[in-house]
Each structure stands twice: as C-alpha cells, then as structure tokens.
Structure 1
C-alpha cells in the first residue's frame, strides 16, 4: 500500500511541474528561446550533478560485487529493450522521423526520480545503493547510444560526428569522476557538495517544466487521441517489465536486487527523451506525449508489479 501512495505522490508532483510549464508557456511568461535553453542547461549542468550525487555512498567489497551484478544485468536489459524498441517500431509501423523518439521512449525509464522513491518505499534505503548502479547502466546507454540515436534523425541527420563527441561529454565525464570518487571514497568540500546537490535537485522539475512548455504546441485532445502514446505505454509499462519479471526470476537470487531490476524497468518514459529530442531536432512533441501519458498510466501498472513481486 505504501508503494501506491508513493507513486501517487510522485505523480502529483510531476504533473504540477508539467502544469506550471504549460501555463507559463501558454501565457507567454517565458520566451521560446528560454524554453529551448532548458535542454542545454540540463545536459551540461544539472544531469552531471545528479550523476555525481548518486555516487556519494559508502563502499564495501561485498556491496561492490553485488552492485557489479546489478550493473551487468541492467546493461543486458537495456540492450534487449533497444532491440524491442526497433522490433515494436516495425510492428506498429512507426514513421522514420518518429522512430528515434519511439526507441528512446521504449528503452529508457524515469529510473531515478520515480523508481528510487518506489524502491525505497518497498525495499528500504539499502535498495537505493543498487539502484545507483542500475542507473549507471542507464547512463552508459542513454548518454552515448541515446545521443547517437537522436542525432541520427531530426535536424542533425546526415551530419558526421566523431566518436569524441559521444565520449567526451559533461555527462560521461561526471560518470567517470563519480566512479573514482566512489571507489576511493572521496567527497567534495561541503560548499561544493551543497551546490552539486542543489543543482542535481533541479533536474526533474526543469525536465518536466520543459515537457509542459512543449505540450502547448499540441492540443489536449491531440495528446489523448494519439494511438501511438497507448502503444508506447503498453511496451514501456507492461511488456518490458513483465519480461524482466519472468526472465530474471531464475537468474537473480537476491530478492532486493531482483526487485530493483523489475521496478526500475517498470517506470514511465524518462524526461530526458524530450530533452534530447529538443536538443537534436527530433519530434519533441511526440516525446512529450509519451512522457505525459506513460506517467499518467503508471499509477495503474506500477502497483501491479509491486504486488507481483
């Protein structure tokens, strides 16, 4: 029951952020340039800070071994989810210009903001340590393959990009620094740490505000009548977590790790989908629809998976 209330509370918070973004954009309280700048600010500042903050946790060898297990299995799940994204894009005949947004939406979940809250409510604070490494697998794909995916279509389609552009980014730099800090148990000085924590806490509100500003480009009726949002919701909220639930059961013996894997992949579409779509000239309106509808419908699906666990 606590998981249901946790999900409901997080949903209300997310929808308030979206509503504020929608209202301030609709009433022209912010410029279109400001809205577009949000995506760059998130990618360069707040997301790297979020990654750094997640690695500030205690180290033991036993925990590290289990965390490594979570990371490797999560890598496999995200890789399989990418393949499912391509397969379902073909099954549902998603257009070429929308395919990147579809695959990203199907693959990458709102792992940290919503997932961690549910895990904490169901399994306790210890689960967040392992969730950090599942989120590291998310980062490994989302900020490398995910960037390539979004750049392969949209306004940057056809442009040549060197591997340096995918590897040497603020996000990937934060992952490397975070891992070093975790292994050697390093910490920022208190003023710097407070700044990093403060910046990281801006990520979810600003991402959802951005979704709200994008939704003003489409009518409410269009948001709810687009059949693709419900097809994406089925794949993202039902099919993939159900496959994880069934396939991982005989392979993962630690109940907490098993729960972290299932819950992490039962979350709605990541807010970063709209950020990347906006940054690289993809269908940002469709991305925002996917985020909005899957976040709305997960109030039904997440408690079901919690009960199945």
Structure 2
C-alpha cells in the first residue's frame, strides 16, 4: 500500500496545489479557462495521440471490453438518476448528478496515473473508456437533463448540441488519429514528433493543477440557493457511489462476462476497474453551469470524490495487485 501511495501522492498533490492557488487568488479565476484551453486543445490531445499511436490496434478495438464498460456506464446513469429524482431535484440535476457519478476523470488524471502505475499498456483500455464516456455517457445525460423542460432547449436539440460538442472536442479526434497511425504503423517526422512529445509531457502536471483550480472556482462561484441549502446527503452518497460502487460493478460485470466466454483480457479489466475507481470528471462542473443545473452540488460531488480518491483509489490499486 505504501508503494502505491508513493506513486499516487504526487498526482493528488498537484490537484491540491491547483486548488490552493485558486482559493488564495494566486491564480485568478479569469486565468483558469486559459489553462483549461491549453490542456484541452494542445497538451492532452498530443498525449492521447502518442498513446494511441504506440498502442497495438487490437487493444484500441477491443469490442468485449468496450461493450462491458458501456453496459456498466449505462447502469450507473440509470441508478443515480433513479435515486436522485425527487421534489427538489428534477431531471436536469438528476442527469448531471448521474454524469458526475458515472464519468471518471480519465483524460485529465487517469491516463497518466494508470501509465505510471501499470506501464504504457494501460493506455489502450483507458482510451476505450474515454471514448465511451465522452461520446455516449455525456450525450445521454445531457439529453436526459432536458426531460423536465428546464431551459429553452428540447431533448432533441440538447442531444444535437451534445454531439456537436463531441465533434468540436479535439480529444476524440486525437484518439482516432493515433489509432490510424497505430493501424498503418505511420511515424511522425522527427521535429514534429519532438514537438508533440513536449506538449504531451506537459499534459499531466498542467491538467492536474487545472483540476484543482476548476474545483476551487466551481465551489466559490456556485449558487446553492435554487434548491435551498445543500446537505451532505445531497452530494456525499453520489461521491461514494462513484468511488465504490462503480469499480465494483465493472469488476463483477467483467468477471461475469469472462466466465460466459466474452474475450476480455484480464489486464484490460484491471485497468477499467481502476478507471471506474477514479474521482468524478472535473469538466462536468462546467457543463452543469452551461445547462443550468445545480453546479454547487456537482462541484461538491467532484471535490469529495477527488479528496477521498487519494485513499480509495490507492486501496483499489493495492487490492487488485
């Protein structure tokens, strides 16, 4: 366990540094979108492209692992929506609560952390989960958020906007381009490859620092009055579901699928269980603001899951070893 903590500590320490810098106004809130833009449009796509290009194509096109993880994501969304809907929280808040309960912070935190723990082979299964969560899980939850008529958009328009957001997001395109380079064994010219490598190497520290800053910003500016004061019952259960139930579900469903003859590699299953054990994706806080959900609740779920994941994620790694 101590050896695992030695690896995971620097990752969570960088998140804490970003949180502290933003709360102390050493990093102005106005600068956070710039950091986020650098990570989203430059550093992270380069990192994902490199991992995709250096990963055997069979790992990136693993249908068994893809549909197993997708099934678990859909179950998580349905479960969190079912327990969240009440007189205070309608479809909008329930749907974004489900998204934050089913969408791990794989891009900003998970890929570099899992590669540090398990080696470069962990990138392939992790990339598969990113595609599922960014394209399917996010689009589904945004469409569900429109069912109570909140805002000016209907379900169909919300789904179109979600898909448009996926198209504009450079990460899926970076993954696709890396997959093509892997399939056809293409290599970048030396100077271009070095530039991509430099940007990719910057992804992990800047992304982790940005996570902390985003959490501090979301917690500070979020308005909690639309449903009355939040209590711990409004956000702690979802954070625990994300950290404990999600990885357990992936493990049980994965083992059941293997026992029924579904060709899922044991290492890929291990990586996907650890992906599910990651804290909630920080970008959901910004999405919830955009669609008028209770961003204060979402920010607290992300904050609690990120803080608790230092122990729960490290424990999951130790158990799976």
In the TM superposition, residue 158 of structure 1 has moved relative to its aligned partner by: 4.1
Show the counterpart of 2:74: 79
Question: Unmatched 5+ residue regions in structure 1?
Answer: none
Query: What are the within-5 Å matches in structure 2 for residues 216-295 of structure 1?
Result: 216-217=220-221, 226-252=232-258, 254-295=265-306
Query: What are the within-5 Å matches in structure 2 for residues 89-168 of structure 1?
Result: 89-90=84-85, 94-116=89-111, 119-120=114-115, 123-142=118-137, 144-148=139-143, 157-158=153-154, 160=157, 162=160, 165-166=164-165, 168=167
Asked if 1 retains the 8 angstrom alpha-carbon contact of 2:279 and 2:305, the reply is yes
Question: Unmatched 5+ residue regions in structure 2?
Answer: 259-263
Distance in 2 between residues matched to 1:191 and 1:304, nearest whole Å: 36
In the TM superposition, residue 308 of structure 1 has moved relative to its aligned partner by: 3.7
In the TM superposition, residue 166 of structure 1 has moved relative to its aligned partner by: 4.9
For 2:281, what is the secondary structure of its paired residue?
A: coil
Asked if 1 retains the 8 angstrom alpha-carbon contact of 2:11 and 2:208, the reply is no
In the TM superposition, residue 294 of structure 1 has moved relative to its aligned partner by: 0.7
In the TM superposition, residue 97 of structure 1 has moved relative to its aligned partner by: 4.5
Asked if 2 retains the 8 angstrom alpha-carbon contact of 1:101 and 1:286, the reply is no
Show the counterpart of 2:54: 57
Distance in 1 between residues matched to 2:166 and 2:150, nearest whole Å: 21
1:84-126: CA deviation from partner (whole Å, max 9, x where unpaired): 2222223897444422320111110122444345544654432
Show the counterpart of 2:316: 305
Distance in 2 between residues matched to 1:283 and 1:199, nearest whole Å: 32
For 1:303, what is the secondary structure of its paired residue?
A: helix
Asked if 2 retains the 8 angstrom alpha-carbon contact of 1:68 and 1:133, the reply is no
Q: Structure 1 stretch 126-135 or stretch 148-157: which is displaced more?
A: 148-157
1:261-299: CA deviation from partner (whole Å, max 9, x where unpaired): 211111111112123223444333222211111111123
In the TM superposition, residue 192 of structure 1 has moved relative to its aligned partner by: 4.6
For 1:270, what is the secondary structure of its paired residue?
A: coil
Distance in 2 between residues matched to 1:38 and 1:184, nearest whole Å: 34
Show the counterpart of 2:178: 178
Distance in 1 between residues matched to 2:36 and 2:113, nearest whole Å: 26
Cα gap change, 1:147 to 1:118, in 2 (>3 Å): same
1:163-200: CA deviation from partner (whole Å, max 9, x where unpaired): 76355323344443333233223344225524642674
Cα gap change, 1:231 to 1:300, in 2 (>3 Å): same
Asked if 2 retains the 8 angstrom alpha-carbon contact of 1:204 and 1:271, the reply is no
Cα gap change, 1:43 to 1:8, in 2 (>3 Å): closer
Distance in 2 between residues matched to 1:235 and 1:133, nearest whole Å: 22
Distance in 1 between residues matched to 2:229 and 2:266, nearest whole Å: 38
Distance in 2 between residues matched to 1:92 and 1:247, nearest whole Å: 33
Distance in 2 between residues matched to 1:155 and 1:36, nearest whole Å: 24
Distance in 2 between residues matched to 1:273 and 1:207, nearest whole Å: 11
**TM-score, structure 2 as length reference:** 0.75
What RMSD, in angstroms, separates the aligned Cα atoms of the two structures?
Answer: 3.7
Corresponding position: 1:203 with 2:207: yes
**TM-score, structure 1 as length reference:** 0.78
Aligned length: 301
1:24-60: CA deviation from partner (whole Å, max 9, x where unpaired): 1xx7x6365x556766666555554454344131436
Cα gap change, 1:137 to 1:93, in 2 (>3 Å): same
Distance in 1 between residues matched to 2:249 and 2:33, nearest whole Å: 36
